Each structure stands twice: as C-alpha cells, then as structure tokens.
C-alpha cells in the first residue's frame, strides 16, 4: 500500500544517543522502531569502557549547564524506570594552573549559574589529595554535583525500558541507506525498506559514511582508555578520590579518570596528549591498543600519580566524533528533510545522552524543541 508506514519514528543507531531517544519516544507512547547494527551495549562504538564523567560546572561553556541539569534528572528517571544504578555521585576535581581551561571554564560556568564549588590552592590540594604527584603550580576546582555514569548499563537500560513501553528493536541489523523525505523518510536494510514519518539518525562515528552530506562536518579520531593498579586501592576508592580532569596551562596534556570501580584498578584516559591523534574509519573497527599507547600512558600516569603502577593492566580503544568547533550536531538540516541528526558528540557527549534523547524525541514528534540547542545547529558551518 502506497500510504503505509512501518512506524511513526525510526531511530537508526542504538548507542548512547539512539538508545535514549528510543526510550523518550516509547515513554510518550510513540510507535517507534530502533535499529542497531550490533547488540545494544556493545564495544565497537563510543559508548563502552565502564564509566563516563558527568560534571555540572561545565568547562566547555556555561550554555551547557541547563542541559546537564536536565540530563541529570533524566538519568535518575531512567534509574527509577529500569531499577538499575547508572549514575554515581562522587564529586569532580579539576586540576590545573589558574589560567588552564579546566579551571577557567568551570569557574565561569559556576559563577554564571550560581553553582556550588570550592577552589583549592596547591597546599590544600596536596593535603586533601596525596594520590597526586607534585602539584607545583596547580590549583583545584572541586564540585559536588558530579560523578560518573555506567555507559553500557545506561544503553541497555534505555533499550529495555523502551521495549517494555512497546518499542520494536531490530538488533544485529545494519541500515545501508537513509532516504530523506519531508513526510515519508525511508531506511534501507539490504533489499528491505522501512518507511516512517520521521527518522532520527544517531549513528555516532558512522554518520559521515551513512549520510555523506555530513562528511565535511565530521572527523572521527581514535582514543584509548587504560586501567592501572595502585599499591593502595582504598586510597583510590570513590570516598577519597573523585572523578578528575588534570591539565597543563595550554590544554595540550589533558588526562582524566575515575575512582576504582572494582576495588583494584583505576581508569585513566588521555583526552589531549602529543601523539594520540589518529583519524579512523569506524567501519574498519577500532585499531587495538599497542605498545605506543602503553608508553604514553606510562609517562602520563608516572608524572600524575603517586603509588600507581604506570604499566596498564589493560587498555581499550574507543572513538571521538568531532565537529570543527567540538560542539554537537543536534537537529534537522534543510537538505536532509524528515531527519533529525544527532552527531559530533566528541569526548564529552555521554553525560548529555538522556537529554539529547529527550530533545530528539521532541524534534521527531513536534518538529521543534523547548530545550536550548542553538549552539548545536547542524547548519552553523554552512558559510
Ligand atoms: C574514550 C572516551 C572517553 C569519553 N569520556 C567521556 C566522559 O567522561 N564523559 C562524557 O560525557 N562523554 C565522554 N565521551 C564521549 C561519549 O562517550 C560519546 O560522545 C558518546 O558515547 C557518543 O554516543 P553516540 O550515540 O553518538 O555514538 P555511539 O554510542 O557510538 O552510537 C552509535 C551507534 O550507531 C550504530 N550504528 C552505526 N551505523 C549504523 C548502521 N548503519 N545501522 C545501524 N546501526 C548503526 C553503532 O553500532 C552504534 O551503536 C568519551 C568518549 C570516548 C571515546
């Protein structure tokens, strides 16, 4: 039948953003199908590795603060709906010189939104956090309203709750083409075609391949996470060791990490660091961690901590999807009618996944959103 549709909304990609979109649509009773090329919670994309930082005094811009607040509440709603623990509040410690982006940015956001925080000078840092190696010239910015999310559990919880609310999920199913259309966009899965009133495209690093019109807006880079063994694991437990970001003045050496989740190791990632930048094609899969990754980690861990074996116990590869300005792509594009794009979530998007899912659900159902997303306009690079 020429007028038939398969669902009101199709969500392509059920990683961080797609799984939350599926949940927010199903929660409204929308007839929705989610399509994922692997199984939700997999480790081939950008949403694996046990932990993701959530912080409120946002270093990347004060305009993110209301979105973090909304996201935080939605994470708690998803915990309630799924019965799973997803967000642990540990506080966050930013360490850097007074003029570094990790101090200047959070201070500006905290002041703009009247958030609670504490500034620590070098001596206060040394006595409160002896886990860190020489802190000469560094100060600390501490906020309580921060912690970490469990990425794999967050994805699978959202998909499970969405299914329970009536969403259909096609997993291990790759969409091979998306055909934009103002009223009847379609997705192709091999020789099969599904039609909807609206399609949300949440394919992370695969976006530039699936919708070539977006290729100039996006690069995909490899990043590696490492796990390290401290001599005294209790000192790195969440009670004594909040999630952290540690940077030099230029921001060229920025590492971040988490308290020990397993009572034995702590996880560290290099956000910026000389030698780590490598463009990849997600379709080729993650390039596994190697000796050069271990070597960079050893240097970073040795100079940052006291009493931590700098040789990684294990490492995992992951990917950042980056726009030219490092801010997200959220919303429709005039040359891709019938679609909402979710992409470019970079190294800091996970914490927002719950609110991005809500925003995408609003776009899919009403064509607009009440949440502040001007900064993420997919047309902003057109000129
Ligand atoms: C090492 C690392 C550390 C990070 N740390 C933080 C942090 O501490 N805090 C934070 O907030 N953010 C962090 N981030 C960023 C955050 O994890 C990502 O921004 C976020 O996970 C991106 O989600 P996504 O849904 O866009 O992509 P993904 O989760 O990769 O989802 C895309 C999905 O689409 C599917 N897909 C692709 N193509 C198709 C197709 N053709 N058909 C069907 N399905 C398809 C993929 O299989 C995948 O499941 C980090 C990222 C990395 C890599």
Considering only CA atoms, which residue is closest to atom 41 of ligand 1? 175
- Which atom of ligand 1 is the closest one to the Cα of 224? 1
- Which atom of ligand 1 is the closest one to the Cα of 53? 8
Residue 2 confidence class, pLDDT cut points 50, 70, 90: low
* 292 and 344 belong to one structural domain: no
Domain boundaries, position 191 = 7-47+152-214+325-376
pLDDT, residue 4, reads 87
247 bridge partner residues? 254
Percent of the chain with pLDDT over 90: 97
CA 164 to ligand 1 center in whole angstroms: 24
- Which atom of ligand 1 is the closest one to the Cα of 225? 1
Q: At what angle do helices 65-82 and 16-27 cross, to 10 degrees?
A: 70
Q: Kindly tell me if the per-residue pLDDT of 64 is higher than 90.
A: yes
* 168 and 269 belong to one structural domain: no
* 232 and 303 belong to one structural domain: yes
* 261 and 290 belong to one structural domain: yes
Helices marked H in the chain — which ranges? Answer: 16-27, 65-82, 101-113, 122-128, 151-164, 207-210, 291-304, 353-366
Q: 214-224, pLDDT tens digit by residue?
A: 999 999 999 99
Pocket lined around ligand 1, Cβ cut-off 6 Å: 12-18, 35-38, 44-47, 52-53, 174-175, 202-204, 206, 210, 223, 225, 269, 318-320, 345-351
* 237 and 299 belong to one structural domain: yes
Residue 112 in domain? yes
CA 320 to ligand 1 center in whole angstroms: 8
Residue 134 confidence class, pLDDT cut points 50, 70, 90: confident
Number of domains in the chain: 2
Percent of the chain with pLDDT over 70: 99
Residue 68 in domain? no
Residue 66 in domain? no
CA 56 to ligand 1 center in whole angstroms: 20
CB-based burial of residue 173 (10 Å sphere; 0-12 exposed, 13-18 middle, 19+ buried)?
Answer: middle
CB atoms under 10 Å from CB of 164, counted, come to: 12
Q: Kindly tell me if the per-residue pLDDT of 286 is higher than 50.
A: yes
Residue 52 in domain? no
Domain of 238: which CATH number?
A: 3.30.9.10
- Which atom of ligand 1 is the closest one to the Cα of 42? 49
* 282 and 134 belong to one structural domain: yes
Domain of 171: which CATH number?
A: 3.50.50.60
Residue 64 in domain? no
Cα(367)–Cα(338) distance, rounded to whole angstroms? 9
Q: Write the CB contacts of 141 (distance below 8 Å, at least 6 apart in sequence).
A: 57, 93, 94, 102, 103, 106, 107, 110, 117, 118, 119, 120
- Which atom of ligand 1 is the closest one to the Cα of 342? 26
Q: 166-202, pLDDT tens digit by residue?
A: 999 999 999 999 999 999 999 999 999 999 999 999 9
- Which atom of ligand 1 is the closest one to the Cα of 349? 19
Sign of CA dihedral 207, 319, 274, 148: positive
CA 4 to ligand 1 center in whole angstroms: 32
Q: 265-284, pLDDT tens digit by residue?
A: 999 999 999 999 999 999 99
* 318 and 332 belong to one structural domain: no
CA 46 to ligand 1 center in whole angstroms: 3
* 125 and 269 belong to one structural domain: yes
**Ligand 1 pocket, mutate which of 150, 347, 356 (most atoms under 8 A from CB):** 347
Q: Kindly tell me if the per-residue pLDDT of 351 is higher than 90.
A: yes
Considering only CA atoms, which residue is closest to atom 20 of ligand 1? 350
Residue 79 in domain? no
Mean pLDDT for the stretch of residues 361-366: 98
pLDDT, residue 1, reads 45
pLDDT, residue 125, reads 96
CA 116 to ligand 1 center in whole angstroms: 30
CA 97 to ligand 1 center in whole angstroms: 31
In angstroms, the first-to-last Cα distance of the chain is 42
34 bridge partner residues? 11, 169
CA 200 to ligand 1 center in whole angstroms: 15
**Ligand 1 pocket, mutate which of 22, 44, 46, 172 (most atoms under 8 A from CB):** 46
Of 302, 322, 342, which closes a domain?
A: 322
CA 352 to ligand 1 center in whole angstroms: 12
* 266 and 287 belong to one structural domain: yes
């Amino acid at each position: 039948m020429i007028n038939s549709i398969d669902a009101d909304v199709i969500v392509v990609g059920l990683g961080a953003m797609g799984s939350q979109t599926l949940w927010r649509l199903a929660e409204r009773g929308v007839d929705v199908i989610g399509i994922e090329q692997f199984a939700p919670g997999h480790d081939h994309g950008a949403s694996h590795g046990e932990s993701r930082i959530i912080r409120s005094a946002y270093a990347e811009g004060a305009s993110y603060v209301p979105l973090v607040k909304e996201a935080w509440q939605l994470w708690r709603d998803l915990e309630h709906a799924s019965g799973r623990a997803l967000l642990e509040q540990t506080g966050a410690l930013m360490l850097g010189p007074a003029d570094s982006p990790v101090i200047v940015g959070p201070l500006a956001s905290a002041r703009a939104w009247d958030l609670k925080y504490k500034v620590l000078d070098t001596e206060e840092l040394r006595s409160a956090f002896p886990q860190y190696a020489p802190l000469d010239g560094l100060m600390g910015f501490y906020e309580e309203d921060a912690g970490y999310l469990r990425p794999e559990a967050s994805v699978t919880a959202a998909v499970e709750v969405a299914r329970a609310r009536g969403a259909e999920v096609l997993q291990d199913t790759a969409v091979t083409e998306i055909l934009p259309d103002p009223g009847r966009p379609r997705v192709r899965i091999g020789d099969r075609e599904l039609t909807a009133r609206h399609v949300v495209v949440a394919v992370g690093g695969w976006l530039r391949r699936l919708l070539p019109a977006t290729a100039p807006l996006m690069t995909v880079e490899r990043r590696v996470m490492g796990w390290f063994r401290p001599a005294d694991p209790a000192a790195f437990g969440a009670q004594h060791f909040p999630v952290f970001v540690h940077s030099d003045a230029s921001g060229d050496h920025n590492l971040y990490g988490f308290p020990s989740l397993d009572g034995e190791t702590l996880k560290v990632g290099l956000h910026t660091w000389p030698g780590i930048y490598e463009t990849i094609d997600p379709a080729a899969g993650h390039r596994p961690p190697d000796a050069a990754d271990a070597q960079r980690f050893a240097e970073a861990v040795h100079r940052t901590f006291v009493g931590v074996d700098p040789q990684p116990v294990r490492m995992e590869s992951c990917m950042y999807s980056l726009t030219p300005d490092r801010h997200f792509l959220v919303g429709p594009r005039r040359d891709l009618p019938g679609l909402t794009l979710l992409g470019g979530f970079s190294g800091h998007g996970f914490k927002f996944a719950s609110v991005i899912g809500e925003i995408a659900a609003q776009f899919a159902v009403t064509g607009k959103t009440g949440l502040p997303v001007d900064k993420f306009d997919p047309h902003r690079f057109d000129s």
